Structure formats: structure tokens, C-alpha cells
Structure 1
Amino acid sequence: MSNELLEKPIEYEVNGEEVKLTGNMVKQFLVSGNETVTDQEIVMFLQLAKYQKLNPFLKEVYLVKFKGKPAQNIVAKEAFMKRAENHPQYNGLKAGIIVQRGDELVKLTGAVSLPTDKLIGGWAKVYRKDRPEPAEIEIELREFTKGQATWNQMPKNMIRKTAIVNALREAFPETLGAMYTEDDKLPIQDSG
């Protein structure tokens, strides 16, 4: 049964393009990290990609596994943005960072702050045509940063991006509710 799952292709359509994947293709070309994925993890990845209509060849979804950690199916922020922009009720977004400036918390648009500001978190508002109020998210940096290189090099952009993804998921739970990026999912691996 295991070989059949790895060799038999699954086929689905993404934005008018046919995607054909096998477990062996995933195993050989689409896994990141330094650990071998299990057949079960590959099947879960294939089903997520098919069900959510994500194209791993366009880097819309990744399968990542590191030594001693469970595999993670990670969806790119661009996939969230494409889904939102294609939704008939999408009506734009605003996002930025939250900084401590002196004794005050200040919400800034974008990801630019004064050198004396202390980064506290990120915020995002996603507007829908069919709702009077936007989906609004404010998140705290210390709950999401993992000390990874990207977070260390560009924490303002990363926390802003994470706030956007969380707000998009809240605004469009029917199309984005089960998808997570590497940065907005609180991973199990942080405990080890």
C-alpha cells in the first residue's frame, strides 16, 4: 500500500493549471530540512495541496522537516494573498507594526520605525464588502519570534506579515482557516 501511495499521481487544478504530484516527487524534490519524511507525512502534504488547491512548484506550499521534529506543511503568504484577492468580498487591507515610543504604544503603518522605538508587535485589518467592521488583529512579537535568522534580520517585516496572515485567516475562515505559514503557526518544535 505504501508504494502505491508514493507512486500513484494525484491530479488537481490550480488557477487553470493542472498539477500532477506523486509522493516520490514530493520526497525527492519538494521537501526542505534535514530529516527524512514518513509516508504518512507525504500523504498529508499531498492531501493538503490537493484540498487547498496549492501548487508546490510555485512555492505556495512547503513540506519541511528537521531532525527530531514533526514535519510541517507550510503555506506561503502569497497563497493567502491570492486567495483573499480572488474572493468576491475582499476589500483590501492595512497593516503595520506596534512600537513602544517612550511610555506610549504607537501603531505605525508599514514596517518603518524610529531607531529609538522598541518593536512590540504587529497589526492588520482586512476589509470585506459584506461586513461593517474589518477583521482586526494585533499580535505580540515575543509570541511569534523563534530566533531564526529571518526574524533576527527583519523582525518588523516578519511580525507585520504574520499579522496580515492571521487577519486574512480570520476574515476568510472558509478558504484560509486550515492553512498556516511557518511564522504564524506556533510550532510544536519550540518546546524542544
Structure 2
Amino acid sequence: MGTQVYKSLFQPLKVSRHQFKRVINCMKLIRYVKFQEIYAQEKITRVDSLSLVLSGRLVISQNGRALHIVSQHQFLDSPEWFGVSTDEFFQVSATAIEDSRVLIWHRDKLKLTIMGDQFLQAVFDHILGRDVVKKLMQVNESLSGMGNGHCIANLSDESETKPLLVVKKGEESGSITAIINRQLQGRKLHP
């Protein structure tokens, strides 16, 4: 687990193994999230951690509308890293669309640990900032697709040509899970 995350995200930015070990020591747990399980619920779940998807995929939605998909080595709560306190709540929901594993850091402990290392602070700001920009681009592309009568909610690297979720205008009624289930009927997911 740690080696793969290090090689993918931190080693390319010249983070030493010693620095990475300090980051990993702030880990709270690795949570297994089953298909259709809600990881975070808007306006209910507190923003008190930093969560990195190790495997699987989760759909991010707001008011029952899919915004984008979070997959391997993407953060579930990167926007909340910037300027949101731990006593606030998620403004979106995250629901597993595959069995998933999520690495969860103690957010405050992690921030305190990297506070004394300007380089490590810059690395986290870079990684999380890049993650936020990617999410914003996906949401923007999803919303611009609505002008054609469809909202394409999966623009992940793995399936650029095959959207996972297409919500037609007027199909917003019903839960996001029901819409996803209709879309997934007959489709094989790879955990």
C-alpha cells in the first residue's frame, strides 16, 4: 500500500522515504467501502480527515446529482483541505460504485506534522491543488454536456471514451444510487 502511493504521488516530487514515513505515521486507518456504501454524506459527515482512494471508484454527488468519479490515487476530500475547518461538514456525498479501499489520514495530525517542513507543505498543496483542478474540470465538462441533454459524470483516465454514468435531463428523480444501478445493469465492474 505505502510503496505504491509513494511511487505514484510522492517520489516523482522528490519526497524522501523518511518524509513519506512521517506522512504515513499520520494515517488513521484503511477503510474498506463496499459497493453502494456511502463513504461521506453531504451536510452530515464532518470534514476531519484526508482520504486517498487506494483502489476502486466512488461517485461524488450533490443533491442527488452526480458530479464526478474519484478513482485510484485521487482524494475524496481535496477541496476541503484548503480553508475548511474540521468542525464543518461535507457539501457533497461520496458513494462507492465498486468495492473500494480508502487510506484515511488524521487531517489535523497530518497538518501539524508537515507544518515544520515547508517542502512537504508545498508538496501537499501541489498534489491536492492538482486534484482539485482535475475535479473542477470534470464537473465543468459534465455540466457543459448537459446542454446536449446528457450529463456525463465519468471522465476518469481509465474510461475516457466510455462514460460510466449518463443522466438524461428529467431523470434526476430518484436517488443517485438508483440511477447508477440502472446504468450498471449488465455491465461488469473491475474491483
TM-score by length of 1: 0.25
Whose relative contact order is higher, 1 or 2, with alpha carbons under 8 Å and at least 6 apart?
2
Tell which structure's C-alpha radius of gyration is larger: 1
Higher strand share: 1
